[in-house]
Amino acid sequence: MSRTTSSPSPSGRPDFAARAARYDDLRPADAGWWALYDVLVREGDLRGRRVLEVGCGTGVLTAALAEREAARVWAVDAEPAMVEVARARAPRGAGVREGRAEELPFRAGWFERAVLRLVVHLVDRSRALPELRRVLAADGRAVVATFDPSHFDGFWLNRYFPTLEAIDRARFPEPEVLCRELEAAGFASTRVVRVSQPHEIDRATALERIRGRHISTFDLLDPDEVAAGTALAERELPERVRGRLDWAVVVAEV
């Protein structure tokens, strides 16, 4: 992301174009990322499959699936700046297209598997989930990684940005709600796998992420709250910032 000050997106939605250039620096694929990756590959049965990634961002997951799992992957993202980064990264066996989850640019039944990582809270699920079902084959499976409600209880940013927790609780669907929505969209069965990971970063990294507005929720906060919270963090952040990442991985079978 090129900016270091916050202003609300003109549309009232997160600005991912502004994040594309620095996204991987601010949110690197660390040990926790790879641990969740292993869960997605296992629960989604992604190895060697024809896989669609919806909301691919900079394409890190797409590249890993093609390179490590011998998957044939197509990825889509609605943000052209993210698509540009993902295309530059895409290895042999992976393709990237600009496209919206609500109108996937693929024919019905084309994919064996689909994966969504931290994207389901950003889409119109009433349209996106039926589209997900449409592009999956008769024996298809989708695997969706989102935050479990417990994740927000002690999130390290809550202290500095008082309205962030409520905003994110409203944005992220509870796993059981997501299961019902997937079944209403045509999936035959769903289940939830919960993953809890210890998370620790140093003060300098934490401040870099705050100043870089590393999560999209910053775009939904009042600019005065962002400025005040950043100043508070600069004064009070400890040398080590510790917490947990609590994931809900929803597996949906056709």
Spatial CA neighbour of 254 closest among 186, 205, 192, 176: 186
Confidence band of 2 (pLDDT split at 50, 70, 90): very low
What pLDDT is recorded for position 221? 97
- State the Cα–Cα distance between residues 143 and 192, nearest whole angstrom: 10
Q: How many domains does the chain have?
A: 1
Q: Is residue 144 part of a domain?
A: yes
Q: Is residue 1 part of a domain?
A: no
**Separation of first and last alpha carbons in the chain:** 38
What pLDDT is recorded for position 13? 79
What pLDDT is recorded for position 5? 32
For the record, the structure tokens of 96 come out as 């990237």
Q: Write the pLDDT tens digit of every residue in 108-140.
A: 999 999 999 999 999 999 999 999 999 999 999
Q: Is residue 5 part of a domain?
A: no
Confidence band of 12 (pLDDT split at 50, 70, 90): low
Q: Is the dihedral of CA 200, 167, 181, 106 positive or negative?
A: negative
The pair phi, psi for residue 153, each rounded to 5°, is: -60, -45
Q: Write the pLDDT tens digit of every residue in 28-64.
A: 999 999 999 999 999 999 999 999 999 999 999 999 9
Regarding beta strands 111-117 and 50-54, do their DSSP bridges make them parallel or antiparallel, or are they unpaired? Answer: parallel
Write out the H or E segment, with its range, that includes residue 119. none
What is the CATH classification number for the domain harbouring 100?
3.40.50.150
For 145, the domain range is 23-150+167-199+245-253
Q: Is residue 49 part of a domain?
A: yes
Within 13 Å of residue 161, how many CA atoms lie on the same side as its CB? 26
What pLDDT is recorded for position 6? 34
Contact 192, 179 (CB under 8 A): yes
Q: Is residue 219 part of a domain?
A: no
Q: Write the pLDDT tens digit of every residue in 140-177.
A: 999 999 999 999 999 999 999 999 999 999 999 999 99
Helices 223-236 and 203-211 cross at an angle (nearest 10°) of 170
Q: Is residue 231 part of a domain?
A: no
